[in-house]
Amino acid sequence: MLRLAPEYGCWPIWNPEPNDTHDYNVDPRTLPISAALCEALEAWADEHYATLNQDYPPDSKFPSLEAEQAWRARGGQLLAQLKSELPGVAWTSRF
């Protein structure tokens, strides 16, 4: 199972280990997915990272509700593409 879940300063894909207390960050370039999907995932994660308020992280947010909704919609599209390109993998998401 893999999870699509962006975090600041990390790749947006995680491998949650069922018998461990840690999730492991996965570089999308190590997965057998298309270069276009890999680039789209990195761009999507970069959009999220751009929301980080370095001075006071709790104030991190998108510039508008519309921008956040569009970003979430792109996340749903990326998740669908991941499921299509990696059909044998179970996916969860958090975004």
What is the tens place of the pLDDT at every residue in 7-60? 999 999 999 876 666 678 999 999 999 999 999 999 999 999 999 999 999 999
Encoded tokens for 27: 């570089």
Which of 20, 33, 35 minimizes the C-alpha distance to 80? 33
Tokens (6 digits) for 45: 């994660």
Judge if pTM exceeds 0.85.
yes
Q: Give how many domains the chain has, as a whole number.
A: 1
* Contact indicator for 23, 14 with CB cutoff of 8 Å: yes
Count of C-beta atoms within a 10 Å radius of residue 37: 17
- Residue span of the structural domain in which 62 resides: 2-93
